Amino acid sequence: MREVVAFLGLGANIGDRERAIRTAVERLGVTPGIRVLRVSSLRETELVGDGPPQGMFLNGACSIATSLPASALLSVCKALELAAGRTLPAPRNHPRALDVDLLLFGEEHIDTKELTVPHPRLFERAFVLEPLRELGVSEQALSDLRPMPAPRLVTTTREFQAICSTWIEGGCLTGLVPTMGALHAGHGSLFECARKECDRVAATIFVNPKQFGPKEDLAAYPRDLPGDLRLCAKSGVDVVFAPSPAEMYAPGFASNIDVGAEGETMEGATRPGHFRGVSTVVARLFAIARPHRAYFGQKDAQQVAVLRRLVRDLGFPLRLVECPTVREADGLAMSSRNVYLDAKDRAAAPVIHRALRAAQQAFAGGLRDRDALVQVATAVLAGEPRATIDYLELRSEGDLLPLPIGPVAGGRMLAAVRFSGGRTVRLLDNMSVVASFENSGS
Judged by beta carbon, residue 187 or residue 276, the one nearer ligand AMP is 187
The window from 150-158, 318-326, 401-409, 430-438 that contacts ligand AMP (CB under 6 A) reads 318-326
Rounded to whole angstroms, how far apart are CA atoms 441 and 327?
7
Among 179, 204, 302, 432, binds ligand AMP (CB under 6 A): 179
Rounded distance, CA 217 to CA 180, Å?
Answer: 13
Give the Cα-Cα-Cα angle 86, 92, 97 (nearest 5 degrees): 25
- The interaxial angle of helices 17-29 and 70-83, nearest 10 deg, is 140
The nearer residue to ligand AMP, 74 or 307, going by C-beta atoms, is 307
Residue 304: CB minimum distance to ligand AMP, A: 7
User: What is the rounded distance in angstroms from the CA atom of residue 225 to the CA atom of residue 236?
Assistant: 16
Select from 46-54, 116-124, 168-176, 323-331 the region that touches ligand AMP (CB under 6 A): 323-331
- 380-399: contacts with ligand AMP (CB under 6 A): none
Q: Among 416, 417, 410, which residue's Cα sits nearest to residue 394?
A: 410
Q: Which is nearer to ligand AMP, 20 or 190 (CB)?
A: 190
Q: Is 95 in the site for ligand AMP (CB under 6 A)?
A: no
200 binds ligand AMP (CB under 6 A): no
Instruction: Report d(CA 158, CA 147) in Å as an integer.
Output: 19
| CB 312, min distance to ligand AMP, A | 18
Alpha carbon of residue 288 to chain centroid: 16
Which residue from 40, 336, 338, 430 is in contact with ligand AMP, where contact means CB under 6 A?
Answer: 336
Q: Is residue 327 within 8 Å of 185, Cβ to Cβ?
A: no
Residues facing 6 on adjacent strands: 64, 105
Residues 6+ apart with CB under 8 A from 399: 262, 305, 308
* 3-state SS, residue 163: helix
**Binding of ligand AMP by 24 (CB under 6 A):** no
Beta bridge partners of 413: 394, 431
The smaller minimum CB distance to ligand AMP, of residues 182 and 362, is found at 182
Q: Is 180 in the site for ligand AMP (CB under 6 A)?
A: yes
Picking from 239, 346, 369, 231, the residue whose alpha carbon sits closest to that of residue 291 is 239
Q: Closer to ligand AMP by CB, 112 or 211: give it.
A: 211
> Residues 42, 333, 359, 403: which binds ligand AMP (CB under 6 A)?
333
| Omega prior to 32 cis, within 30 of 0 | no
Number of residues that bind ligand AMP (CB under 6 A): 17
DSSP character at residue 44: E
Alpha-carbon span 193 to 307, nearest angstrom: 19
Q: Which residues pair with 65 in a beta bridge?
A: 5, 35
Task: Determine the interface stretch with ligand AMP among 96-104, 128-136, 153-161, 329-337 (rule: CB under 6 A).
Answer: 329-337
Considering only 3-11, 168-176, 325-333, 364-372, which stretch makes contact with ligand AMP by CB under 6 A?
Answer: 325-333
What would the x/- binding string for ligand AMP be over residues 201 to 240, using CB under 6 A? ----------------------------------------
Long-range Cβ contact pairs of 365-369 (< 8 A, separation 24 or more):
368/407, 368/408, 368/409, 369/406, 369/407, 369/408
The binding track of 271-310 with respect to ligand AMP, each residue x by CB under 6 A or -, is: -------------------------xx-xx----------
Using the rule CB under 6 A, is 157 a contact of ligand AMP?
no
435 binds ligand AMP per the rule CB under 6 A: no
Beta bridge partners of 416: 391, 428
Residue 325 sits in the site that holds ligand AMP (CB under 6 A)? yes
CA angle 220, 231, 219 (to 5 degrees): 10
Task: Quote the DSSP letter at residue 407.
Answer: B
**Residue closer to ligand AMP (CB basis): 64 or 304:** 304
The only residue of 70, 98, 320, 334 in contact with ligand AMP, by rule CB under 6 A:
334
Q: Closest approach of Cβ 249 to ligand AMP, in Å?
A: 17
Return the active site residues: 187
Q: Which of 9, 118, 175, 186 binds ligand AMP (CB under 6 A)?
A: 186
Interaction between residue 81 and ligand AMP (CB under 6 A): no
CA neighbor of 209 nearest in space, from 183, 185, 258, 243: 243
Nearer to ligand AMP, 39 or 323 (CB): 323
192 binds ligand AMP, rule: CB under 6 A: no
Indicate whether 12 belongs to the interface with ligand AMP (CB under 6 A).
Answer: no
Strands 57-66 and 43-45: what pairing?
Answer: antiparallel
Shortest separation between residue 412's beta carbon and ligand AMP, angstroms? 14
- Other Cβ atoms less than 10 A from the Cβ of 49: the count is 9
* Residues in a beta bridge with 428: 416
List residues binding ligand AMP (CB under 6 A).
179-180, 186-187, 189-190, 296-297, 299-300, 323, 325-326, 333-336
